[in-house]
Structure formats: structure tokens, C-alpha cells
Structure 1
Amino acid sequence: MHPAEAHLLSDLETLDREVTHCRACPRLVAWREEAARVKRRAYQDWDYWARPVPGFGPPDASLLLVGLAPAAHGANRTGRIFTGDPSGDVLYRTLHGLGLANRPESVVHGDGLELYGVRITDPVRCAPPDNKPSTEERDTCRPWIARELDFLRPTVRTVVALGGFAWQALLPILAGAGWQVPRPRPRFGHGAVADLPAADGGPPLKLIGCYHVSPRNTYTGRLTVPMLRELLAEAARSAGLEPVE
């Protein structure tokens, strides 16, 4: 199925299944499959996933975390978002510490990890070269996450954008899903908050910016674990969840 047909899907489970077959972006298809052929030395015995990666978490989540794209030797290898790389190690350990996940490790799809009230997704579903999808690739992939937001709209109350790419990608998607994005458009920053009323008078949405959990940020101290924990705890509370203090 091409992303442009995502609006035809009737539920989140079907979307998660269909997205894994997408081949709409030739450069990304070639790169994800090349990474699976070459592999890293540490993963020579792995049978890489090498397909688009769906979102992860319950279909009635009230808190949504949005990243950038799968890592070539992380989710592109394991088949689950933020799984098998340093970014995921930090993220899931923090979620577990807040009582929002049942275990601190995220090793591979099917390892028993569960999220409570939280779903995680990406605006681009295939691993891009140098972690930099093109604008065209981002826009081609957009219908997948747009339809995902359609399904989450009855329950989601807070969205955390992990990085500036996610923040910019989300603004038109949230507007299309029925929330009013202010003008001028809110700017990304760690801890930036934008309150988006619903155009139909329904529940509003809170958009929160967070530095991405990439090693570039966590290894340099730009984003520390206490910073991440504090922000995710506040996001969880605003979504109606009860994080562990």
C-alpha cells in the first residue's frame, strides 16, 4: 500500500501492519536494505528487519512520543522503534523509571516490553542515510502518521516532539488532525510548550518539545537523564497519567 492510501485504513492495527510493506521512497528502501546486507560487525549474526518500522504502544494512549526515523542498526535491525540502540536505552529506561513501561531494556520486537498509556512513533518510517530524510521523503511518509493521529485522537492529550525535526513535521499533521496550531507557529526548544485547542470543541492537545535522545545529545550532556525524566513526568501528568515520582 502506498502512503497516500493510508486514509482508507480502518484501525491502528491494520495501519501498523500495512506500513511495514511500504516501498514509496526508493532512496530509503535502498539504504535500509543495504544496511541489512552490510551489517555492523557486532550484528553479523542478526537477520535484520530492514523494513519500515510501525509505531509501538497501546491504541488508546494518552501520551504520544514522536522521534525522527529508525536507526540503521537499531530499529531497522530489531523491527521496533527506539529498540537496540543507545537512544532507546535511555528512553525506555526513563519510561520504566516513571512507571510507564514494564521493563527498562528494549532489545528486540517480542521481548515482552509493554508501555502504559504511552505510544511512540516516527514521522519517517525507514532508516535514512546519515539520519537525514529529505523533505520529499518526510512528506511522502506523512500520511502514515497522519492516519495514526486520526486513530489516537479520541484519547491522546499530550505529544512530545523528540527534536526539532519531529516538531516541524508534527505541526501540519496536528492541524490536519483537528487541532488549531497558532500563528506564528510555535518554535521548538527543550521544554517549549504549545497548547492547541480542538477545532471541533473537543479536548485540547499539549505539544511539548524535548531534545532528541540521540547519543549526540546524551553523551555531551545537552540532554541529561534528569532533564528527560523531569520533562516526561510533566508530559505524563498533563496526559492524565500518574508517573512514579
Structure 2
Amino acid sequence: MSVASKTTPAFGTGVPSSTQAPISTSESKTAAALSPSSTAGINIRPPMKYAVPDSQSWHAPPLEWLQGTWSVTHSTLPMWRKAKNVRITYKIIPPSSPDELACLDDEVCSEPTARTLLPQPKSIKGIDTPDGAGGWNWRGKGWLKIATSQWEVLGWGEKGDEKWAVTYFAASMFTPAGLDIYSSKKEGISADLVKEIIAALQGSESRDMAALVTASMKEVKIEY
């Protein structure tokens, strides 16, 4: 979750999907850009604003799978450079009628590691409303009710007893577009697994996304 008023993603395949020409057999690179990248079983798609996921190779995680507390272990977002123990908790909000979709209660908790110009809240709460396969519109609670943002799941899975996810956040007036890596383990993600995830991100046909990961993906401090 990032507080936002601008919701246009800052990277993708380089061409919005609405303007792309039909894919022919001679356009293998373009076709690949519309599908998730896969490395050692790690399946990651580009942001859906720029590419239509291959429905046979990628699908959104079930809400029951996403529900729970996640540790943010790696991120390209500057907001986590001066924070530690970043945790995001999702709780399912059942629909009030059969015509509605379930939403998510969203709480981000963190601890500052350095002084900042403006005080940082230890907890940011909001509600996530579904917006496409794996996509969400976030709106803050309380004094943050006027704030909104967009985020989506790009990849998710399990390895042994560890669940992982990669999320993308659209650019906002406060932060640039960026990526987070989540782990279900409080102590953080395993070294081998994060290497596989980062390799899949760097191998993405979305050139801008791959470059962002190479230049800006950093470990988020976990210290209990």
C-alpha cells in the first residue's frame, strides 16, 4: 500500500495494451511481453495496465491465501529505506450482498530506523476494493480517507512452508512506482527463494521493470 492520488503505472512493456497491434507469429518478443516471466517455477507477470496476463499460466491468488500477515523483505520503494519490520496484514471483508465482491482490510505497520522530515505513522490502515485480476484500489481510513492508490499482485506461490508474493504499486504524489517482495515468514524470506524471485523479475520482458529491480531492489531491515 502506498498513499496516492495518481494511479498511472510508471513502467510496463513500453506500450499500453490498448495501443498494441495484433500479435503475429513473427512478433515473438511482443507475445512474450504479454505473458508472465518464469524462472525455476517463479511465475511473474508485468503490471496489467500494460499487458494482458496469459490466463492459462497466471491467475490471481485466492483471498484466503492472501489473507494474513506478510513481511516486506525487499523493495524498490524509497519509503522503506528508513524503516524496519515492515508488515502488511490483509483480512477479508465479506460482501454485504450477493452482488458485491469481498474487500480486504489493509494495515501496514513499520518501525522507523532514522529521523525523517515528517513524522512517520507506525500504522497505516485502509480498505482494498478489487479491480481486475489481482488488482486493488486502496483507500485510507480516518484522516487518510481522502488518500487512494492502486496496487496489484504480479506473482505469488509457495516453496516448502514459505509463501511469497510480489506486488506492484502505481506512482503517487508521495512515492514513485515500485515493487515489494513479501514473505509469510516473520523473520524474512529464504536466501535461495529471493534469488529466484529477483532473477524472474530481472528476466521480465518489461524492460523498465527489469531495470528498476536491478537498480533499486533493496533488502528491507528485519530486526526483532
TM-score, length basis structure 1: 0.26
The answer to which structure has the higher strand fraction is 2
Structure having greater relative contact order (Cα 8 Å, sep ≥ 6): 2
Could you tell me the TM-score, scaled by structure 2's length? Answer: 0.28
